[in-house]
Every structure is written in structure tokens, then in C-alpha cells.
Amino acid sequence: MDHKEGKYKVADLRLADAGSTLIEWAESRMPVLMALRRKYEKTKPFKGYRIAGCLHVTKETAVLIKTFVAAGAQVSWSGCNPLSTNDAVAATLAHEGISMFAWHGLSVKEFYWCIEQTLNIKPNLTLDDGADLIFTIHNRFPELADKYVIGGTEETTTGVHRLRAMAADGALKYPVIAVNDAETKWDFDNVYGTGQSTLDGILRATSVLLAGKNIVVAGFGHCGRGVATRAKGLGANVIVTEVKPTAALKATLEGHRVMRMDDAAKIGDIFITATGVKDVIVSRHFASMKDGSIVCNTGHYDCEVNLAELGKLTRSKREVRPNNEEYTMKDGRRIYVLAQGRLVNLAAAEGHPSEVMDMSFANQFMSQLRIVELHRKGKMLEKTVHDIPPAQDQEIGRVKLSTQGFKIDKLTKDQERYMNDYSAGT
């Protein structure tokens, strides 16, 4: 472990060169964020502002952090999941002077220690994925919110959900922008990003054939839909479990079978949870699973698959491949749990591909910038959860399209008039 008091704690600084190559690869596939970097490195709008971030330390996140730094910000960072940090990337960032507190495989206690270290810079802005940083400030360091923080952003569905609950209770001490709810985030990252990276994680951890398998996807939100669509594309028989009638109906129209987990548990080969709630797979499900079943989670927290209950049914446990543990049950059946029930796409693979993170992180950058620009004008957003402006979505979409060489049509004045005309019908 390489540790410099107050400055960084990472697994091994000697990995920095390898990390640089990974980051360069991501940069070559993140044209929108790189365009923002080129634009704002000249004017340095973040000069004098300190950002604390708590988000997966990946090559894509490094591109975001380096863009903030190029735009003048002072940045401190921790990972938002014990198994998602890429140690080479963390080493590069620490080597380049970022206050970086992250390593792969840290304990829950170390996880919160890392978050606390990032608060030493007394941040003006927070950037979260899962709201752990915001919760830490509110619950343990509220004086930081009172004295320094002018706003924050939140990356993920689960985090936004909880922050909206907090805002409804009047408990939010500063404004937060819901980056997750940008169309150029959820409709791409959550669907295509989660779809591809989840299967990538499963394949790296198992190397099994997906064609012909019964793949049970719990949850048909944006993430579950992405996973189900990609699994179907690879020839799997997809079964969806849901609690929301309209989501279940949509799944049936996509050609998936829909049933209760109690029934799916008996016939599934691979189980993937993508719900955002706890106890989706519990004791009675493990009890009825087939020998050889594979179980994993792609939701933010590791509570969707109840591993404590699986442990009680288990006789012995061993690692059979990286990120793949075999639980031998007392009755002799074997169940394979991937990535300890944590985000399989980040723990067993590299998270979403750079191309989708490009848009998600362009939204992060623009949203943080919005808070700073308002602050410079002496203004502050209301202390609640805010959506991103629709124009930001269209601008990010426009730049992304143009970097891919696509051209689209434009409404004529006459067409615009027609669309807004309520004087005539048929």
C-alpha cells in the first residue's frame, strides 16, 4: 500500500504507467468530455473551487477528474464501491497530484475512512454515485455543508431516489443536481452501458455460453431492460421478475417471460438482480435453485442477493475463478456467486464502456459548472434535487452525434408553426 498522509492512499504507485495507458484509451473514446476539457482549460472556470468525489475509480472517471483539474478545480476522490477501483488508474491519479483514497478490495470501515480523507479539502462541491459522500457530510460533518458546500451532483438511480426522499423531508442541506435523470445519462448509460458491462462481467467471471440459458433478470427498469435485451441478443431465454405492473407488461411485449421469483428460482440458470431494493433473492429461492446456478447483482448496493441467508444453507465455500465463489449447500447443490454480490459489471469487468460514460460524465461536468457559475453570480439553487436543463441534454446529444459524423435534420419555421398550431385539427 502506498500512503502519503492527507494526500493519497492507493494500492501501488508503481502501477501508474499502466494506468496512464488505460486512461489514454478512454480519452480516445470520450470526445464530448475531451471537447469540454479543451474549451474550459483556457478559461479555468473552476479556479478556486474544491470538488470531493465519491465515484468508481475507473479509466473513464479519470478522464472526468483530469477534465475538472484542467478546468481549474482542486479535486479529492474516493471510490463508491469496495470492489470497483482500478488500482492502476488510482495510482496514476495519485501520481499526478490528485488526493486519491481508493484501492480494490477495501473493507467497509476503510471505505468510510477514504471518504473522510476526501473531506479534508473542505469541499465546495460534492460529486456522488450512490450518495455515500452526501450522507457522510449530512450525518457526521454537517458543519461542512453549513460553511463550505454550495452544491452537489448525483450519478445513479438509487442515489437520486434517496436524495429525493431526503429533500421531501426537508433534510437536504444543499442543492443536488440529479445527473442520473438526464436523458443523455439514463437512456444510454443505464440501458446500453449496464446491458453490455453486466454481461461482460458475467462472462469474465464464468466464461459460460449464454445462448440457450434461462437468464432471470430481476427488475425491468432501465438497467434491467438493457441487460435483458443484450442477453436475448446473445440467444438466452430471458425471464423477468418485477413488482411494477407496467414494467412487467413492457417486458412481456419485448418477448420476455414474466413470473415471480419463487417460480423463476426453480428454472433459472443465471440470475441477475437490477432492482435497487434489498432481499430480491433470499433463502427460499436458493433452496429451490438448480445445481450449478449462477447468481449476481448489477444494482448499486450489495443487498439485493441475501448472501447471509445463502451462508446459512452452505456447507463449504471456495473461489473457483476470480470473482466467482462456489457455495456448496448442505444438500450437495452448488451455487456460484459472482463478485460477492456487488456490482458485477464493475467488480468483474471494467464498468460501462467509455463511449457511454462520455455522455454521463459530460453531464456531471456541466452540472458542476452550472453550480459554480451561479455561485459566481451570487446565486444558489434551492436546497432540493434538481433536474438538468433539457437544453444541456440536447447539446450533449448534438456534440456526441457530430463527433460520430452523423448529421440530422432541422425543423423549418413552417414545421415549427405547424407543431404549435392548435387552431386546426384534421
Exactly one of 37, 54, 58, 86 binds ligand ADE (CB under 6 A); that residue is: 58
Smallest separation (angstroms) from ligand ADE to the CB of 11: 18
Q: Does 153 bind ligand ADE (CB under 6 A)?
A: no
Q: Does 351 bind ligand ADE (CB under 6 A)?
A: yes
Selected range binding ligand ADE among 50-58, 85-93, 174-182, 368-376, rule: CB under 6 A: 50-58
Q: Does 352 bind ligand ADE (CB under 6 A)?
A: yes
User: Among residues 27 and 269, whose Cβ is nearest to ligand ADE?
Assistant: 27
Selected range binding ligand ADE among 5-13, 55-63, 65-73, 268-276, rule: CB under 6 A: 55-63
Residues facing residue 327 across a β-bridge: 317, 335
Helix (H, G, I), strand (E, B) or coil at 374: helix
Selected range binding ligand ADE among 223-231, 267-275, 323-331, 349-357, rule: CB under 6 A: 349-357
Closest residue to ligand ADE in the complex (CB): 351
Q: Which of residues 174-213 bind ligand ADE (CB under 6 A)?
A: 193
Nearest to 227 by CA among 197, 250, 263, 257: 197
Please return the burial class of 291, using the count of CB atoms within 10 Å of its CB with bins 0-12, 13-18 and 19+.
exposed
Buried b or exposed e, range 138-169, using 16+ CB within 10 angstroms: beebeebbeebbbbbbbbbbbbbbbbbebbee
Distance CA 234, CA 273 (A): 18
Nearest to 104 by CA among 343, 325, 277, 272: 343
Q: Does 60 bind ligand ADE (CB under 6 A)?
A: yes
Smallest separation (angstroms) from ligand ADE to the CB of 176: 18
Cα separations in angstroms, 423 against 57, 237, 414, 416: 55, 50, 15, 14
User: Among residues 62 and 261, whose Cβ is nearest to ligand ADE?
Assistant: 62
Residues 296-335, one symbol each (x = binds ligand ADE by CB under 6 A, - = not), give ----------------------------------------
Q: Does 268 bind ligand ADE (CB under 6 A)?
A: no
Q: Does 78 bind ligand ADE (CB under 6 A)?
A: no
User: Among residues 56 and 370, whose Cβ is nearest to ligand ADE?
Assistant: 56
Indicate the DSSP class of residue 269: S
Q: Is the dihedral of CA 375, 141, 114, 344 positive or negative?
A: negative
Q: Compute the chain's Rg from CA coordinates.
A: 22
Smallest separation (angstroms) from ligand ADE to the CB of 250: 23
Smallest separation (angstroms) from ligand ADE to the CB of 230: 15
Q: Which three cell numbers stand for residue 239?
A: 425471464
Residue 69 corresponds to which amino acid?
V
User: Among residues 195 and 268, whose Cβ is nearest to ligand ADE?
Assistant: 195
Q: Does 66 bind ligand ADE (CB under 6 A)?
A: no
Please return the burial class of 426, using the count of CB atoms within 10 Å of its CB with bins 0-12, 13-18 and 19+.
exposed
Helix axes 354-376, 16-27, angle to 10 degrees: 90
Q: Which residue has the cell 411485449?
A: 253
User: Among residues 36 and 346, whose Cβ is nearest to ligand ADE?
Assistant: 346
User: Among residues 202 and 239, whose Cβ is nearest to ligand ADE?
Assistant: 202
Distance CA 217, CA 203 (A): 16
Number of chain residues interacting with ligand ADE (CB under 6 A): 10
Q: Does 37 bind ligand ADE (CB under 6 A)?
A: no
Exactly one of 23, 30, 61, 181 binds ligand ADE (CB under 6 A); that residue is: 61
Q: Does 56 bind ligand ADE (CB under 6 A)?
A: yes
Read out DSSP for 148-197? T--EEEE-SHHHHHHHHHHHHTT---S-EEEGGGSHHHIIIIIIIIHHHH
User: Among residues 201 and 268, whose Cβ is nearest to ligand ADE?
Assistant: 201
Distance CA 164, CA 151 (A): 15
Exactly one of 127, 131, 217, 357 binds ligand ADE (CB under 6 A); that residue is: 357
Binding site for ligand ADE (CB under 6 A): 55-56, 58, 60-61, 193, 346, 351-352, 357
